[in-house]
Amino acid sequence: MIRRWWPVSLLVVWAFLALFGGVLGLAPNEIHLPSILAAPGDGALLGYDDLGRPLWDRLAAGAQTSFFVAIVVVSASAIVGTFIGTVSGYIGGWLDHVIVRIIDIFLAFPGILLAIALAGLLGPGINNVIIALSVVGWVGFARLSRAQVLTVKHRDHVQAAQAMGTRTPVIIWRHILPLIMAPIIVEATFAVAGAVISEAGLSYLGLGVQPPEASWGSMIRDGARYLLVAPHMVIVPGVALMLVVLAVNLLGDQLRDKLDVRTRDRKE
C-alpha cells in the first residue's frame, strides 16, 4: 500500500508547492549575508546557498518552474502529436507517408540535443525552453497515436460509422480517440518526467530560467562550485529532482498496469 501511494503523495506535494508556494510567504531571492553557505540547521531547514538565500524557499520556487514547464510542454505535445498521428494513421496515403518521414527525421536526432540547439537559437528564457521542448516532444505522441489508430480503424464499429456516412472528424472524435486514450495517458506521464529532466538540464546549461529566478537545474549548477564546502547546495535540488522523476515514472507504471486489460485480468 505504501509503495502504491507514496508516488501520488509526493506528486501532490510537488503540485502544492508549485500552485500555492506564492501564498506561503516564501522569499527565494532574499539575501542574508551572514548565512552564506550555511548548512541545514535550526536557522533554515535545508540551509543557504552561496548568496545567503534559503534553499527551502528556492526549492519551492524551482518546483513551480518545473511543474509549469512540464504541464505546458506535455499538454502542447500531447494535443499536437495526438492530432497529427491520429489524422495520419486514419487518412493514410501520401499524407501518412510524409508525416512518417518527418517523424523519422526528428527521431534521427537525440531529443535533448535538438532541444539544446533550439533553445540556443531562440535564446535563454523559460518561454523558449517550453517552445524547444514542445517542438521535440510531439513526435512520441504522434508515433504512438498513429500506431494505435492503425490497429483500431478497421474495427467493425468504425467501418459501420463509415458505411453510414459519418463525417471523418466525428469518427475520429467519437469512435477512435476513446480507444487510444489509455496509452496516450500513460505516455503523457512518462513525458512529464522527461520534461522535468530536460528543463533542469537546459537550466543547468544556462538556457532556462535566468537569475534570480530559481530552477532545480540552475541550483545544481550553482552548487557544483561549492560541492566540497557546501554539498547541500547540490544534494537538496538533486534529491528533489530524483524523487519527482521517480514518482512520475512509478505512477506511469501503475497507470499502465491499471489500464492494460491483459495485465489486469491476470491479477484478478
Break the chain into its structural domains and give their ranges: 56-267
pLDDT score at 116 = 87
Whether the Cβ atoms of residue 73 and residue 39 lie closer than 8 Å to each other: no
**Which grid cell is 206?**
544556462
Nearest to 83 by CA among 137, 169, 142: 142
- Looking at the DSSP bridge assignments, the partners of residue 48 are 54
Q: What is the pTM of this model?
A: 0.89
Domain 56-267 - what CATH class?
mainly alpha
- In angstroms, the Cα distances linking 26 to 59, 60, 232 are 10, 8, 19
Q: Residue-wise pLDDT tens for the chain (268 aa)?
A: 556 778 888 999 999 988 887 777 788 888 888 888 888 886 678 889 988 899 999 999 999 999 999 999 999 999 999 999 999 999 988 999 999 999 999 888 888 888 888 888 888 888 999 999 999 999 999 999 999 999 888 888 888 888 888 888 888 888 899 889 989 999 999 999 999 999 999 999 888 888 888 899 999 999 999 988 999 999 999 999 999 999 999 988 888 888 765 554 455 4
pLDDT of 197: 94
